Amino acid sequence: MLLKTVCKSVLLGLPIGITFLDTVGYVARVEGISMQPVLNPEPSNTDYVFLSRWAVRDYHVQRGDVISLVSPKDPNQKIIKRVVALQGDVVSTLGYRSQYVKIPEGHCWVEGDHTGHTFDSNSFGPVSLGLVNAKAVYIVWPPDRWQILEAKLPDSRKPVSINVYNN
């Protein structure tokens, strides 16, 4: 009787859990220093964030959002970066092959907050929105770091020209 109940629970719970993870979101560990000081401000601590798949289900991201995406250089790796510019914007780059880049349709420009210690669009260029898989919305661990991650962009990294249709 106990085995039957356990089997029923697994058979019902597994599809519901998978559906939740695929459509709503999941918790992920953030590694590295590229998003300091917002994420992992202390090298000895590791932040865990809630990544909302629901927030990017229609590929709608805003300037300043912290997003998770598939690395354009290594499809087996997920990276977490901040959206700096959207399609139609012109951004001033930091060491990219052109000093200014106009972001093509269906793309965005992403950067880590720790300038000079990050592998981002300044290395690989604009990123297809199809590579975006979630938006980081909360720091959920450690407890003393619980907070909502706000969409904010430092004044020094705002686009040179903004496409008004993306607001």
Residues 138 and 51: beta-carbon distance below 8 Å: no
Choosing from 34, 52, 68, 121, which is the catalytic residue? 34
User: What pLDDT, on a 0 to 100 scale, did the predictor assign at position 123?
Assistant: 87
User: What pLDDT, on a 0 to 100 scale, did the predictor assign at position 163?
Assistant: 72
Choosing from 52, 68, 71, 81, which is the catalytic residue? 81
The yes-or-no answer on residue 81 being catalytic is yes
Chain-centre distance for alpha carbon 104: 19
pLDDT band of 167, cuts 50, 70, 90: low
Quote the mean pLDDT of the chain: 83
Q: For 129-144, what is the HEC assignment?
A: HHHEEEEEEEEEECHH
Three-class SS state of 75? coil
Buried b vs exposed e over 30-40: b needs ≥16 C-beta within 10 Å? Answer: bebbbbbebbb
**Tens-digit pLDDT profile for residues 50-100:** 998 887 878 788 999 999 999 988 889 899 999 999 999 999 888 888 889
The yes-or-no answer on residue 68 being catalytic is no
